Structure 1
Amino acid sequence: MKRRHRTFMKNHGLSPYVWIFLSILPFYFIFQDSTTVEIAVGIAMVAGFFLSYVLSFSTRGGAVYAGAGVQMAIAAAMTLLFGYMYFFLFLAYFIGHLTNRAAFWTFYPILLTSTFATSYYGFITHPEFITQLPFVFLSLIAVILLPVSTHNKMKEDRLQGQLEDANRKISELVKMEERQRIARDLHDTLGQQLSMIGLKSDLAEKLLEKDPEKAAKEIKEVQNTARISLKELRELVTQMRGTKLEDEMDRVKQLLAAANISCSVDGSLTLPHSLAIAESVVSMCLKEAVTNVVKHSGAANCNITVESSQNALTVTVKDDGGGMSGANKLNHSESGISGMKERLEFVNGTLDVFSDAGTTVVIHVPGDART
């Protein structure tokens, strides 16, 4: 139950409590100086409004627009009969969630017209409107701004979801292309050599009795071909093991330059042999850390420090951005930090993140990553 409440508050913040307050408020207006019939009519309208409101959020197509029309009619009637115009805030929030652009720009002007017209009439027919003037004024501003801001936020969320889907598809395509590249390299590198070894071995076997000297020569060529194949295979595997830190540093410099972020690098990029196993992992973590700087920090400067010895390698990425407070903290927490930690665990490394004036990411691996 507590987990559901935290999730609900994370998605909606304080807005549910605002809506609860606004849903109770109409009864105060209904029971003020009203006859029994007016009270019954008012309660029926409130029930009808919220029933229509809930159903409109859970249906699709024409029913959504019909529900919006019913809500607008009830909101206008509540304003004219009881001087309660705050149902228009619910409508403003609802219209902002309309995904159809034409529907939004159809209902938005109708909402503004009906809100201002009924409010003006309310000032004439309900003197108590004067006492509500500050709240009415704030409500009118909300009716103007809330649909547009909500609509733009919904559009941004949809685009963000589409972007994430596209990035996932690109990632899968990259993996597929990499598999195909590895398959081509293995085929081109080893296929011909192994075929030659097989043919020469068969030939040597046939020549053993007829021409031993020539058979020995063929066996020598088989041995030589096997050594060449082994050498080429080792080179291919070495290339597949990952990126050198020096090469990755060139790429992150280009990334930061493209984002108009000044970059400075301190320390030597030539690592001792004991760090060769961890170098590829550190390079990937460096790329992720710099990507976070570009996407989330809002920084103008980024400093990368490399400290290496026979015993350890430490790479520090520090920016002068907004740190990890508020929404930025959420962005950082969901932006590959857990992935970096998992990679570093493979080489017994650690990751530390500090946030004060900017954000500092410290990547540390021991000299012997195999222990």
Structure 2
Amino acid sequence: MFLKNTGLSPYVWVVFYILPFYFIFKSQSPYQTAIGISMIVVFFVCYVLSFISRGWLVYFWTTIQIAISLGMSLLYGYIYFSLFLAFFIGNLKNKVAFITLYTIHLISTLFTINYGFITKNPVFITQLPFVFLSLIAVILLPVSTYNKNKEDKLQGQLEDANKRIEELAKLEERQRIARDLHDTLGQKLSLIGLKSDLARRLIAKDPSQAQLELRDVQQTARIALKEVRELVTEMRGTKLEDEIFRIEQILQVAQINFKLIGDSHLFNTSLIAENVVSMCIKEAVNNVVKHSNATTCTITIEQLETELFVKVADNGIGIKDLGTIRGNGLQGMKERLEFVNGSLDIQSEDGTTIIIKVPNIFKQIDQEVGV
């Protein structure tokens, strides 16, 4: 329980289990000793119950612990129960309950410390450094624990969202493959079936025409096989490094100077986002070759911690009216980037500049065990 909820080893907490008895047995009155032992037992029973309870009972047991901690501090000078409460209050998920109990606990701790110094309690005076450290812990530990739990929760939600995105990406890819297979093979297989049936009926009547139909069937089958191979190649995905190499060859054939700024080997970008960026860069370069009349094309790749920034710039004729852009594959680029939460921006000054931004999604490695 303590490993899960406080993040501290039980062996460390054993020290705090023993210390209250030391303070109590210093009392000369058996009556006070009995009261102290009873308060310790009740405190730890309430402490366990506060972890396993739900709803309003959690706050009820915590309130009793605060009262016992206050009593132990005033009667015996034992302030260290406040550390137990500091850790526990930080584990509360309800923000209103956390703020309320944190405020009550902080005020009660400040009151007992001030009361101890005003009454010149020798226990407080002799333990001044430890009392000061306990006060710091009461102030900081609940806040740090609460923020850590909140961060862990957000991290869990982020991981769930990433898994959902991966599932949607797989679903979208399956649908795309189904559409491509239907468009690629459906029509051609229907054509092959019709021509084969026609050739079968013409074999006896017109053998030469049947032979021509069979040749058409053979040619259609070859085209279908070629398209299937191209489709399989696209399914394997495109690495940016490979796409940059092919782009350089295309620009060289088109007699356009090519310049690469940055590293094409991506580190934090997911495979699906890299594939989308590669296709968009390919489309942008095709537009440069076909429409820009440029002599130079520059690709800039900047990898930030939170996003990938790619810029494709040329020194061509530019685009006269950016508001009327419809063709040249730009709409398809925008739709692909929207799928990975990316964006596309177009500038036309001394040529055309295509700016692509894609967020990076990566997992943090927890440095410590969450509570």
TM-score tier, shorter chain, comes to 0.5 to 0.7
Q: Equivalents in 2 of 1:128, 1:143: separation in Å?
A: 19
Q: Which runs of 5+ in 2 are unaligned?
A: 245-262, 270-300, 309-359
Structure with the higher fraction of residues in helix conformation? 1
Cα deviation for residue 258 of structure 1 reads: 4.2
Q: 2:34 aligns with which of 34, 40, 65?
A: 40
Aligned residues: 266
**Structure 2 residue identity aligned to 1:257:** E
Give a deviation string over 1:163-201, Cα, whole Å, max 9, x none: 111111111111111111111111111111111101111
Pairing 1:124-139 to 2, within 5 Å after superposition: 124=119, 126-139=121-134
Larger Rg: 2
The 1:25–1:253 alpha-carbon spacing in structure 2 relative to 1, beyond 3 Å, is closer
Instruction: Choose 206-215 or 35-44, whichever is displaced more.
Output: 206-215
Q: CA RMSD in A?
A: 3.1
Which residue matches 2:137? 142
Q: 1:76 aligns with which of 70, 79, 84?
A: 70
> For 1:223, which of 218, 225, 230 is the aligned residue?
218
Alignment of 1:248-263 (within 5 A): 250=264, 252=266, 257-259=302-304
The counterpart of 1:103, out of the listed 81, 97, 103, is 97
Q: How far did 1:19 drift? A: 2.0
Q: Percent identity?
A: 58
Letter in 2 for 1:214: Q
SS at match of 2:93: coil
Measure the CA separation in 1 of the matches of 2:56 and 2:227: 66
1:277-328 Cα shifts (integer Å, max 9, x gaps) = xxxxxxxxxxxxxx89x8779xxxxxxxxxxxxxxxxxxxxxxxxxxxx949
Q: Relative contact order (alpha carbons < 8 A, sep ≥ 6): 1 or 2 greater?
A: 2
| Residues 246-272 of structure 1, C-alpha deviations (whole Å, 9 max, x = no match) | 2386472896724169x9xxxxxxxxx
Displacement after TM superposition at 1:128 (Å): 2.3
Deviation at 1:37, TM superposition (A): 1.9
The 3 A distance-change label for structure 1 pair 100 and 12 is closer
Letter in 2 for 1:203: L
Counterparts of 2:63 and 2:146, CA distance in 1? 19
Give runs of aligned pairs for residues 219-298 of structure 1, distance below 5 A: 219-244=214-239, 245-247=241-243, 250=264, 252=266, 257-259=302-304
For residue 16 of structure 1, report the CA deviation from its aligned partner. 3.2
Q: Letter of the 1:25 partner, please give it.
A: L
Amino acid corresponding to residue 187 of structure 2 in structure 1: Q
For residue 24 of structure 1, the aligned residue among 11, 14, 18 is 18
Q: Which TM-score applies when normalising by structure 1?
A: 0.65
Deviation at 1:125, TM superposition (A): 6.2
Q: 1:114-150: per-residue Cα shift (whole Å, max 9, x none)?
A: 0011222223163222101111011011101111111
Q: Distance in 2 between matches of 1:253 and 1:138?
A: 43
122-131 or 95-104, which deviates more: 122-131
Q: In 2, distance between residues paired with 1:212 and 1:142? A: 97
Output the CA distance in 1 between the equivalents of 2:103 and 2:225: 75
* Cα distance change on mapping 1:31 and 1:254 into 2, 3 Å: closer
- Structure 1 gap segments, 5+ residues each: 264-290, 298-325, 331-371
